[in-house]
Amino acid sequence: MAIEVTVPDIGDFTDVPVVSILVAVGDTVAEEDPLMELESDKATMEVPSPAAGKVKEIKVAEGDKVSEGTLIVVLEGEAGGAGDAPKEAPKAEAPKSEAPAAGAVPAQSTAPAPAVTDAGFGKAHASPSVRAFARQLDIDLAKINGSGRKGRILREDVTKYLKSSSAPVAAASGGAQGGMGIPPIPVVDFSKFGPVEDVEMPRIKKISGPALHRSWLNIPHVTHNDEADITELDKYRKEMDTHAKENGYRVTLLSFVIKASVSALKQHWEFNSSIHPDGDKLIKKDFYNIGFAADTPNGLMVPVIKDADRKGLVDISKELMELSKAAREGNLKSKDMQGATFTISSLGGIGGTSFTPIVNAPEVAILGLTRSKMAPVWNGEEFKPRLMQPLSLSYDHRAVDGALAARFTVTLKTLLGDMRKLMW
């Protein structure tokens, strides 16, 4: 039985590069075994096999771009096994690359990657991210010998070539180079001054780095700092957390901040908007999806709590725990990181007094949290010790002005200062 495997639902992404094919023609795979890896601008995604069987044909090659429904692999189902009842896949659509169409001569895993039409890149065997990196540095991949599997050129190969080359480096939009007319930072051979070692960056940082750089270059950032009195809120949080631990989850300050942020966003809708592509309008959003920065062994990831306005503190706390665990274990799906309207980045468990979080475009604002501290606060008659929470609100000055940012922060600190208002 022939089983056509197509790209499953990968969210709103289209034309996603195939960065690695993990099987070869003739391989036997089990249901859910990974067949290949796709790389969007936010994450790397594995495409699992929908059934057990033997790989009959591979319809795409590394470097091809695919979308939901693109035919990628044909399996021969195993008799009497999972292959007899394959999961129904979406109807295949023609690949949006030079991959063979259905019925054409099947591509073998040992075949070279298709010729690259980019000038100066020849037939170099490299992933799209490495091609982009080399293009930013104005380096011809055809001149580099790859050290990866089947001669694949890795990012470290490009870096080594750069160190050994005296060719000038072009201005770039990422890494240490300049962009948008900014002079590049000169390349320095640090080995002249002492021992050095090239340490490969985690894939997540390679992907998110250019996106953060793009946001920083395109958005006029301003950061507004303030403090919220969370003395009473923290007492209530600890009571909730004691009960939560008995039921297998935790209640952190972030749950309350998410709840308060939604209320503040409803009162100041500009912070829940995006700038229209024509630059003359704001896109007002009537839904509230809150992203939160999660620190993982592989780098920073931003899961999203969907429809946070419809969820209570307990539901938000449970979802925070589930998404954070999935992020740490590398099990987040692309849909888990899409659709945020506002993001919160918390460093409270580590320290700090304030910082400037980078707005996650196309959002127009991001809230940063650092460690709370006890401080003497004047109540009109005397100083009293109060637990104060620093707030750092970065915003896109094209969509939000300083006065509105101050009002939003006052609303937020008022909500956090009186937890009863969070129940309204």
Tell me the torsion sign for CA atoms 225, 230, 231, 235. negative
289-301: pLDDT as tens digits: 999 999 888 788 8
Are the CB atoms for 386 and 375 separated by under 8 Å?
yes
Residue 129 has pLDDT above 80, yes or no: no
Confidence (pTM):
0.64
- Residues annotated as part of the active site: 397
Tokens of 27: 């391989």
Helix (H) or strand (E) holding 392, with range, is strand 383-396
For 383, other C-beta atoms within 10 Å of its C-beta total 10
Residue 47 has pLDDT above 90, yes or no: no
195-207: pLDDT as tens digits: 999 888 887 787 7
What distances in angstroms separate CA 248 from CA 8, 317, 328, 356, one per listed residue?
33, 11, 18, 34
* Cα 400 versus chain centre, distance: 24
Residues 6+ apart with CB under 8 A from 154: 126, 130, 146, 147, 148
Instruction: Please tell me the number of Cα atoms within 13 Å of 153 on its side-chain side.
Output: 29
What is the per-residue pLDDT for 78? 60
Structural domains of the chain sorted by starting position, each given as residue range(s) with its CATH number in brackets: 2-84 (2.40.50.100), 128-208 (4.10.320.10), 221-423 (3.30.559.10)
What is the per-residue pLDDT for 209? 81
Nearest to 263 by CA among 273, 275, 253, 271: 271
Tokens of 113: 């990657």
d(CA 129, CA 17): 9
SS3 content of the chain, % helix, strand, coil (to 5): 30, 25, 45
Tokens of 95: 């690949």
What is the per-residue pLDDT for 157? 84
Residue with tokens 């209570």: 312
Tokens of 265: 């966003």
Average pLDDT over residues 229-248: 95
51 or 124, greater pLDDT: 51
Q: Determine the Cα angle at 354 with ends 351 and 358, to 5°.
A: 110
Question: What single-letter amino acid sits at 43?
Answer: A
Give the least confident one: 47-61, 70-84, 289-303. 70-84
* Cα 133 versus chain centre, distance: 18
Highest mean pLDDT among 94-98, 140-144, 217-221: 217-221
310-354: pLDDT as tens digits: 999 999 999 999 999 999 988 888 889 999 999 999 998 899 999
d(CA 159, CA 153): 11
Q: What is the mean pLDDT of the chain?
A: 82
Q: Which residues pair with 74 in a beta bridge?
A: 4, 57
147-197: pLDDT as tens digits: 876 677 887 888 778 766 544 443 333 444 444 556 778 888 899 899 999
